[in-house]
Structure 1
Amino acid sequence: MQVDRVPLGATDAEFSTYARSAQELSFTLQDLKAAIPARCFQPSTLRSLAYFVLDLGIIAALYAVAHAIDTWLFFPVFWLAQGTMFWALFVVGHDCGHGSFSRHRWLNTLVGHLAHTPILVPYHGWRISHRTHHANTGNIDTDESWYPVDESTYRAMPWPQKLVRFYGALFAYPFYLFFRSSGRSGSHFMPGSDLFRPSERRDVLVSTLCWSAMILFLVWLGLTQGLLFLATYYVAPYLVFVAWLDFVTFLHHTEPDIPWYRGDEWYFLKGALSTIDRDYGWVSPIHHNIGTHVAHHIFLGIPHYHLKTATAAIKPILGDHYRCSEEPVWKSFARSFWACHYVADQGSKVYYQPHPSRRQ
């Protein structure tokens, strides 16, 4: 049985059907779920709200300190700290998009917009396309985020496109929102985009209107307080946030030994294992342990504060299929940045290859 995607919110029985038996895997989704404590699948609304309020409090405090000190000696520190907190706020909205923030859909939608709109993320537009990514992880033909191009496509790319895709990766996110990438067209802001079903267009419109209101507020801020004020207190932290988002997403799905699949070789569980956990050191608790990514891709309904427990539970079962890197993330990024450019034109299971000039 070939499966193109696993629907979100599938029951255990549906998971068993969609995650077909694999000759090379000695475990199933049911085996993995049974190993995880049941409490890990139960979000706590109060605990989730506490993380959200804490993030907002730290952001407010950083603004207050920066305004009080008001010196260019401190602003670079402020930009790094506030941009990192913007990223933490994004992760809270990310949980809302997966329904792992709370069991209340209306609360997920409300907090998702409150978390994402201030950092210029169209909540529903991003949530829906991110759903496609999770349902098709590791599938070259249908994955939605940080998927590889084949060698012939790479060689045919004009140099400006290569420059943006491979050497401007840390700032690719705004382009992704408006245009997608590498021929997969669609805007996260347009309700009529091919990214969305007709039943989702109203939600997309609401998020686009919220995003537009934030843009108008920033324009007003720039006109009344000056462009330097806007750049200092918003644009610079926002760029740090974008760098964090692309940096972390790249690291989770880009590694020379992570396989990608075509055709019948792909199915949900095998694709979900095509990611890697990273150790971000002291930053990990700040951005809500987003580095625990393997368990998240297998069971996206687990709240971020239960992912470490879930990971420890399934590691013995996954064995060699569990990937985790404990080396410094900057070192991992540098290696993958130069070593992962494209995959072979043919083959049902392929791996990233470096630029020809960098081959041994």
Structure 2
Amino acid sequence: MTSSTVRIDNTPHGESSEEITKLPFTLGDVKAAIPAECFQPQVWKSLLFFFRDIAIIAGLYALAHYLDSWLFFPIFWVMQGTMFWALFVVGHDCGHQSFSRHKWLNDLVGHLSHTPILVPYHGWRISHRTHHKNTGSLENDESWYPISERAYNQMDIVEKVGRHYLFLLAYPVYLFKRSPGKTGSHFSPKSPLFKPSEKWDVITSTVLWTAMVGLLAFLTYEWGFMWLIKYYAAPYIVFVIWLDLVTFLHHTEPGIPWYREGEWTFLKGALSSVDRDYGFINHIHHDIGTHVAHHIFLNIPHYNLKKATEAIKPLLGEYYHKTDESILTSLWNSFRKCHFVPDEGKRVYYTSYMK
């Protein structure tokens, strides 16, 4: 972590601190620091990114089909899986209504972005809304939240390995079962995730998801199981790894605080995120690593996040979290150091028995 941009906290883990109980700025202060144009989506620009991703995906499919070479397929899988991830981020913006000011257009492009990569747009959109409303809350966050030391010690070795080392393939399971300790499915309107008024949204996305599975089954029947592996399953696995890797690293870092009831506020939770540099991938996946500003104001389009971040950094000061570590270094550090949080304390941090 770079000391110039990341708050270094010396309070013993598990203890509260008057320094952080009341932030020296308000949500209104942060919003006032951001140029007004950062909040304005430009439909033509949003559509440009969407059609760019679609064009690259189509081009990669055409090239893979033309070459039909096992020397190229592994390269194709990585590139196409990365583009699936980029397309997911476009649908993510649609879910936040930051793609455009028109809900019908956001929902249309959201389904066009998410259904082909087997994401139920509305089901995921609503659960992701829950995550944003409760980021950093140990009781109420939706995804990638820590467990207590007591709970960790009660886990068997299989659970520990699955939770802390095999999580990069967790996303499909999350869609059906949510995160550990929570109930419900992203496909059922009766899930506790959803309000009665959201029933038909959930059903619509589930029907479209099922139709996509049916299409894949039909194409597999027509062209064979090897076709499914070469042209869809392998890129899909790369996409899932990207999704789990990036979303895990958004909120998993030894120096980032988590809050219990009585200490958590929306702004504190939103600040419990880390900006990360993915190198040349930044532009490909629409600067999703610029995450702090996104969590404070989710209606900022992705192409305005960098400008918004530069505007708020002077105000946030030591409360702005950014790391210049490589992604693999950060992932390794989180593997080793982010296993559980203390059982007691209103403001706590990830820790581990590993050195």
Match of 1:353, SS? coil
Match of 1:260, SS? strand
- For residues 170 and 289 of structure 1, the distance between their equivalents in structure 2, rounded to whole angstroms, comes to 20
- For residues 308 and 344 of structure 2, the distance between their equivalents in structure 1, rounded to whole angstroms, comes to 36
Deviation at 1:23, TM superposition (A): 4.9
Equivalent in 278, 295, 298 of residue 297 of structure 1: 295
Q: Deviations over 1:178-226 (max 9, x none)?
A: 0012221110001100110111111000000000000001111111100
- For residues 75 and 23 of structure 1, the distance between their equivalents in structure 2, rounded to whole angstroms, comes to 53
Q: Deviations over 1:273-308 (max 9, x none)?
A: 000000000110000000100000000000000000
- For residues 62 and 270 of structure 1, the distance between their equivalents in structure 2, rounded to whole angstroms, comes to 42
Partner of residue 268, structure 1: 266
Equivalent in 133, 141, 147 of residue 135 of structure 1: 133
Partner of residue 343, structure 1: 341
Partner of residue 30, structure 1: 28
TM-score with structure 1 setting the length: 0.92
Q: Deviations over 1:319-338 (max 9, x none)?
A: 00000111111111111111
Residue 48 of structure 1 pairs with residue 42 of structure 2: no
Partner of residue 146, structure 1: 144
Deviation at 1:73, TM superposition (A): 0.6
Deviation at 1:145, TM superposition (A): 0.9
- For residues 341 and 160 of structure 2, the distance between their equivalents in structure 1, rounded to whole angstroms, comes to 15
**Could you say which structure has the greater relative contact order, defined with CA pairs below 8 angstroms and 6 or more residues apart?**
2
Partner of residue 108, structure 1: 106
Deviates more, 1:22-31 or 1:211-220: 22-31
Partner of residue 87, structure 2: 89
Equivalent in 195, 198, 202 of residue 197 of structure 1: 195
Deviation at 1:163, TM superposition (A): 2.4
Structure 1 residue ranges without an equivalent (≥5): 1-21
Equivalent in 235, 238, 241 of residue 237 of structure 1: 235
Partner of residue 319, structure 1: 317
What amino acid sits opposite 1:347 in the alignment?
Answer: G
What amino acid sits opposite 1:264 in the alignment?
Answer: G
- For residues 186 and 165 of structure 1, the distance between their equivalents in structure 2, rounded to whole angstroms, comes to 19
- For residues 349 and 62 of structure 1, the distance between their equivalents in structure 2, rounded to whole angstroms, comes to 47
Equivalences for 1:174-253 in 2 at 5 Å? 174-253=172-251
Residue 353 of structure 1 pairs with residue 351 of structure 2: yes
Deviation at 1:84, TM superposition (A): 0.2
What amino acid sits opposite 1:238 in the alignment?
Answer: Y
What amino acid sits opposite 1:79 in the alignment?
Answer: W
- For residues 250 and 278 of structure 1, the distance between their equivalents in structure 2, rounded to whole angstroms, comes to 12
Match of 2:45, SS? helix
Equivalent in 278, 281, 290 of residue 279 of structure 2: 281
CA contact 2:256–2:349 (8 Å) conserved in 1: yes
- For residues 181 and 110 of structure 1, the distance between their equivalents in structure 2, rounded to whole angstroms, comes to 27
Q: Root-mean-square deviation (CA), in Å?
A: 1.1
Equivalent in 118, 123, 134 of residue 125 of structure 1: 123
What amino acid sits opposite 1:336 in the alignment?
Answer: S
Deviation at 1:168, TM superposition (A): 0.9
- For residues 21 and 147 of structure 2, the distance between their equivalents in structure 1, rounded to whole angstroms, comes to 27
Deviation at 1:158, TM superposition (A): 2.8
Equivalences for 1:327-338 in 2 at 5 Å? 327-338=325-336
Match of 1:284, SS? helix
- For residues 221 and 344 of structure 2, the distance between their equivalents in structure 1, rounded to whole angstroms, comes to 54
TM-score with structure 2 setting the length: 0.93
